[in-house]
Amino acid sequence: MMQSFYKIIYLLLILSSTYLSSQLRIEITGGSDEPIRVAMVPFEWKLNSAPSQYLHEIVKKDLESFAEFAVLNPEDMLSYPSLEEEISYRDWRLLKVDYLIIGSVLKSEIEGEINIAYSILDVSRRKNIHKALIKGSVKSLKRMGHNISDRIYHKINGIPGIFSTRIAYVDKPLSDADSYDLRITDIDGDGDLSLFKSNQPILSPDWSPNGKEIAYVSFEEGTSRIYIQELATGNRRALKRERGINSSPSWSPNGNYLSAVLSKGDNPDIYLYNLRSNAWTPLTGHYGIDTEPDWSPDGKSLIFTSNRSGSPQIYEINISSMRIKRKTFEGTYNARARYLPDGKNIIYVHRRKGVFHIALHNLRTGKISILTDTFLDESPSVAPNGNMIIYATKDRETDTDILAGVTINGKTRFILPSVSGGAREPAWSPILDKY
């Protein structure tokens, strides 16, 4: 009887739900052959007022975003436990569930706040592998849901979840050739908002390590200049401008410096900008073009693109010794490299047989793996857990600019087409909601 009740409630919720179109939305183009099977039981709601959103729906959408998980629908469940002693593991094994999540939403002693108590259980081992209590406001239910998804992902896969992270990108609508819009969005496509608009190009957004600011390049003054914008207030400040090119900002891991590219009227080189003293310091000084720097996770090195060998290749500079080493030797075009969080691998744009793909490069072994099967791929950005990459590419059918993504193991592929048809320059945020 109770099972039928839950099924009816669930169907009513589906029928009554409304979905707003987002600027970006995830569309899976290839998934894992053996996704992890999870059952997210609808949490017991112990509040007087009805919920505006349902946690099991938020978590289900998160976990299935990248096709790594398959989440059992509530109407297919045999029971609806909210406490560990109510669990019949036999039921969940019959449903071939790997992990079970149960919990309750409770009223807090603090006005306007709620407590969410939940557990993650390993069905095959009949073991509770994680039990926690999350506190927050009723209005932040979705954020709390993303946080729970992150914890589930972490406990099962052993690496941080990214459902609380965001993506910055530059939108250039097809309908307006002179419009550029720096935007940020939640991973699920919700919360998409504009940070800065201009009728001149906007390039190279990069998140600060604490996720509170974004550095980017704007041509609003008729030439390139680097700006830093606070997300909470929208306040912008311009970095000290030098003549010539001012481009490709990249935050240091400690947040005290930016690396960037300056030409000062001559060849482009890599510089450091001290955010406290507002002073530039040169790192390279070659007659070739040095560009697109990125910091190593330990802050001791930078990788960058240079044509000093005759074609674009990836180089690494030790900031203390100023020693420079070439890192790529395969192919005549390798550019826009980015470190993975482990510091042992990098990704970059690699040209093979005349087509631009995103490649994974092991710095120790030198092994290169092609990750993408799209074309005209550019501007890769790594998720803060190191498991996924987002990049800009072209839709073969519509010839529009889209964002696409792939897991490091190549098993899951997805696209994030925009409503306007002009998404470029993606940048994945750091982990914003710690747990």
Last-in-domain residue among 157, 192, 225: 157
On whether both 191 and 93 belong to a single domain, the answer is no
Q: Is 37 within the bounds of a domain?
A: yes
What lies within 8 Å, CB to CB, of 187 at 6+ separation is 26, 62, 65, 162, 163, 165, 166, 167
On whether both 150 and 291 belong to a single domain, the answer is no
Query: How confident is the model over 55-79, as pLDDT tens digits?
Result: 999 999 999 998 899 999 999 999 9
| Per-residue pLDDT at 10 exceeds 50 | no
pLDDT-derived band at 350, boundaries 50, 70, 90: very high
pLDDT-derived band at 19, boundaries 50, 70, 90: very low
Give the mean pLDDT of 237-246.
Answer: 94
Give the mean pLDDT of 4-33.
Answer: 50
| Per-residue pLDDT at 359 exceeds 80 | yes
On whether both 100 and 171 belong to a single domain, the answer is no
On whether both 139 and 177 belong to a single domain, the answer is no
pLDDT-derived band at 17, boundaries 50, 70, 90: very low
Give the mean pLDDT of 397-421.
Answer: 86
Q: Is 400 within the bounds of a domain?
A: yes
On whether both 11 and 83 belong to a single domain, the answer is yes
Question: Which CATH number characterizes residue 369's domain?
Answer: 2.120.10.30
| Per-residue pLDDT at 120 exceeds 50 | yes
Q: Which range among 165-169, 353-357, 385-389, 425-429 shows the weakest confidence by mean pLDDT?
A: 353-357
| Per-residue pLDDT at 4 exceeds 60 | no
On whether both 88 and 209 belong to a single domain, the answer is no
Give the mean pLDDT of 175-181.
Answer: 81
pLDDT of residue 400: 85
Percent of the residues in the chain that have a pLDDT greater than 90, as a whole number: 75
Its domain, for residue 246, covers: 167-428
On whether both 277 and 238 belong to a single domain, the answer is yes
Q: Is 118 within the bounds of a domain?
A: yes
pLDDT-derived band at 3, boundaries 50, 70, 90: very low
Q: Is 435 within the bounds of a domain?
A: no
Q: Is 434 within the bounds of a domain?
A: no
Give the mean pLDDT of 213-223.
Answer: 96
On whether both 140 and 193 belong to a single domain, the answer is no
Q: Is 433 within the bounds of a domain?
A: no
pLDDT of residue 2: 34
On whether both 110 and 175 belong to a single domain, the answer is no
| Per-residue pLDDT at 84 exceeds 90 | yes
The number of distinct structural domains making up the chain is: 2
pLDDT of residue 26: 78
On whether both 318 and 192 belong to a single domain, the answer is yes
Last-in-domain residue among 104, 127, 157: 157
pLDDT of residue 14: 31
Q: Is 283 within the bounds of a domain?
A: yes
pLDDT-derived band at 12, boundaries 50, 70, 90: very low
On whether both 79 and 126 belong to a single domain, the answer is yes
pLDDT of residue 156: 97
pLDDT-derived band at 27, boundaries 50, 70, 90: confident
Give the mean pLDDT of 166-182.
Answer: 87
Question: Which CATH number characterizes residue 24's domain?
Answer: 3.40.50.10070
pLDDT of residue 272: 97
Q: Is 311 within the bounds of a domain?
A: yes
pLDDT-derived band at 435, boundaries 50, 70, 90: low
Average pLDDT over all residues of the chain: 90
pLDDT-derived band at 249, boundaries 50, 70, 90: very high
Query: How confident is the model over 302-333, as pLDDT tens digits?
Result: 999 999 999 999 999 999 999 999 999 999 99
On whether both 207 and 153 belong to a single domain, the answer is no
Give the mean pLDDT of 234-256.
Answer: 96
| Per-residue pLDDT at 95 exceeds 50 | yes
pTM over 0.75: yes
Last-in-domain residue among 106, 127, 157: 157
